[in-house]
Amino acid sequence: MVDEWSGTLAQINVKQDIMEVASKSNIPTLADVTRAFDNGTVVTVIANHLHSLCSFGDTAVKQDQFLDTALLIATEYYFLNLSELCLFFRRCKIGKYGQIVWGQRLNIQQVMTALYQFVRERAEAINKRESQNIAHQQAMMRTEDVPVLMGGLDELHEMQKEARKHYSIFRRIFPRLPPDLSPQEYWAAWKQDENRVGRILSAFCMRGKGE
């Protein structure tokens, strides 16, 4: 596992687009590795990446000098997955975050600053990906609205019953929601008062289709 997810080859093999790897549930995080193996395994993975970074800069820094930095990264950024870690160090090598290796020394503060910036880029990528997914789902839902309503009131009533239990069905009935509350908050409000909240949401959806 250490050989597969650390060092130069791992950095080369990871996908380049951060949106493809950011917060993906099928890729183990540093916390997952700690639970499955131990803290030493995570520290070794990160230390190997640091060693690869310094070797790329043609320095003589040894791996045992990286253990404190690796432990700090493992505890502060435990939520990063292994692909994200590989991508971060590859970006360091191409100079995206400035000069991290100075002569024979690793600039630890620069490494941590770079990680902070990477995490911000990661959050932006996740938000962009989720926005694209929501826009796609809403577009698909709008195309399904007419067949659903043509099924008659009985079918709509059945859907409303199911929507009280399943959020996805609620969003099929109301693909567009006002931005003042979160979708989950509107779902909870609708379950408390289907008639009043339903009229508000239906009117909002119809306005959106007329835009």
Query: 98: phi > 0 → left, psi -120 to 50 → alpha, else beta; which?
Result: left
Q: Are residues 55 and 11 in the same domain?
A: yes
Residue 174 lies in a domain: yes
Question: Does residue 171 fall inside a structural domain?
Answer: yes
107 and 199 together in one domain: no
The DSSP string of 38-79 is -HHHHHHHHHHHHHHHHHHTT----GGGGHHHHHHHHHHSTT
Do 113 and 184 sit in the same domain of this protein? Answer: no
Same domain, 65 and 115: yes
Same structural domain, 62 and 10: yes
Q: Which residue is listed with tokens 């070794």?
A: 44
- Say yes or no: 112 and 44 in one domain: yes
With CA atoms as reference, report the closest residue to 156 among 166, 170, 167.
Answer: 170
Residue 179, domain extent: 151-209
Is 169 in the same domain as 104?
no
Q: Are residues 120 and 201 in the same domain?
A: no
Domain count, the chain: 2
181 and 121 co-located in one domain: no
pLDDT tens for each residue of the chain, 211 residues long: 888 888 888 988 887 789 899 988 899 999 999 999 999 999 999 999 998 888 765 555 555 667 888 999 999 999 999 999 999 999 998 889 988 877 667 788 899 999 999 999 999 999 888 887 777 665 555 544 444 444 555 667 788 888 888 888 888 888 888 888 888 888 999 888 888 888 888 777 766 554 4
